[in-house]
Amino acid sequence: MRTLILCTVSILLIGCGEATPPADAGEAGPSPHTFQDPDVTRIHQRMMSVIAPENGWERARYLEFDWAVRRAPDEPPLIRSHRWDRWDGMARVQYPTPDGELVAVFDTSNPEAGEAWVGGEAVTGERREELLRGAHRAHINDAYWLIMPFKWTDPGVHLRYLGEETDEEGREWEVVELSFDDGTGLTPQNRYQAFVNPESGRMERWHHFSNADADPSPSDWVDWRRVGPIELAENRLSGGQIRIFFPHLRVETEVPEGVFSGP
């Protein structure tokens, strides 16, 4: 882990779809997902048993998190705050802009129809739509940095087992590649390699490729902890000065009242 390309800390348009509620979300939950590749099935089922026991991901309806990036040790972090109802698709995104604090509230299936405020004042017209598009991109990017291990079963995602690998520090991994159908998410040309620790069962490293010819952008996923019904990793370590982390995490099985209000 030595470098992290800069595009991943601004607005990285990840190829991932929005979540939808499972048909039996309040009951026992669906059967474990089966992939065409039996090694992928084995790795995924073990990972879910560790980070989402008792169908934890199906029960995790509401996510609240701060995505933060610090580009240098002596600089304050940029923080984007998110609230998200996975089942109904409602999202609230808040972060600073040169004109003041942006608050955007939108349905992820039609973000440009949402509402936006800057510095506490409602924004209208083309400027509102522009801000909502940017907030939607931030939502997709930041959520994928948080929950990528839970997104393997999304429509349009293809998984391939790449085998076992030993890194330069002697750590052993099982590696699964994720690629995407054209039209999946905002950047279907992206590709990922998920490095799963065979001892813990967790994905503890990824390599991101912005396109087929790109060099990998590696990041370690560390400091896993239980948050509501699932486990999440609080820190992403690249080995350089840039650090991505999640200083606030909350996951609930129900949506708290009033969380999708304005400023």
pLDDT at 66 (0 to 100): 98
pLDDT at 239 (0 to 100): 77
Q: Which residues pair with 227 in a beta bridge?
A: 230
Q: Are strands 78-85 and 62-70 parallel, antiparallel or unpaired?
A: antiparallel
pLDDT at 186 (0 to 100): 64
Region 6-16+32-252: CATH code: 2.50.20
pLDDT at 33 (0 to 100): 87
- Is the distance from CB of 237 to CB of 219 less than 8 angstroms? yes
Low-confidence spans in the chain with pLDDT less than 50: 1-30
61-99 pLDDT per residue, tens: 999 999 999 998 889 999 999 999 999 999 999 999 999
pLDDT at 119 (0 to 100): 97
- The SS3 call for residue 40 is helix
Residue-wise burial string across 68-88, b where 16 or more C-beta atoms lie within 10 A, e elsewhere: bbbeeeeeeeebbbbbbbbeb
pLDDT at 21 (0 to 100): 35
CA distance 38 to 185: 26
142-172 pLDDT per residue, tens: 999 999 999 999 999 999 999 999 999 999 9
pLDDT at 18 (0 to 100): 40
The CA-to-CA distance between both ends of the chain, in Å, stands at 39
Alpha-carbon torsion (144, 207, 76, 130), positive or negative: negative
pLDDT at 182 (0 to 100): 76
